[in-house]
Amino acid sequence: MKPTSIKVEKEVISILWRDSNESRIELRYLREECPCAGCKGETILLHSYRPPKLPIAHPDMYTIKNLKMVGEYAVQIWWKDGHDTGMYTWEYLKKLAAEQASGTKQNYEPLL
């Protein structure tokens, strides 16, 4: 399921998969669905952390500054506003691409 190429365009990330399928994910949706604990929260030893909602969206939040492959399973994205803790697995990127058309937000409640 590893991609053969990832291209960042103006407002979209385009991922070409080994099976020749292409996923296109809007950068805004990609950032809003960042899977890191700072964005979505986490539970450790029965203690839940829920991050505060961002008060104001800033355009730099939706601009990719850099990205780097993480092993054989994910990509880490550095956003222009300095956020860089989200690691997007190939499976998660495929899921986001499939669900963005319906405007589906990921349900992180079961994790907390």
Q: What one-letter code names the amino acid at 38?
A: G
pLDDT value of position 54: 63
Of 63, 93, 56, 68, the closest CA to residue 79 belongs to 63
Averaged pLDDT score across all residues of the chain: 86
Supply the pTM of this predicted model: 0.82
Q: Report residue 52's pLDDT band, with 50, 70 and 90 as the boundaries.
A: low
Q: Report residue 76's pLDDT band, with 50, 70 and 90 as the boundaries.
A: very high
Would the pLDDT of 16 be above 80?
Answer: yes
Mean pLDDT for the stretch of residues 82-111: 82
- Domain layout of the chain by residue ranges: 3-100
For the chain, the distance separating the N- and C-terminal CA atoms, rounded to the nearest angstrom, is: 28
Fold of the CATH domain 3-100:
NE0471 N-terminal domain-like (3.30.2020)
Residue 92: Cβ-neighbour burial (10 angstroms; 0-12, 13-18, 19+) = middle
How many other C-beta atoms are found inside a 10 Å radius of the C-beta of residue 23?
20
- Higher local confidence (pLDDT), 71 or 105: 71
pLDDT value of position 56: 67
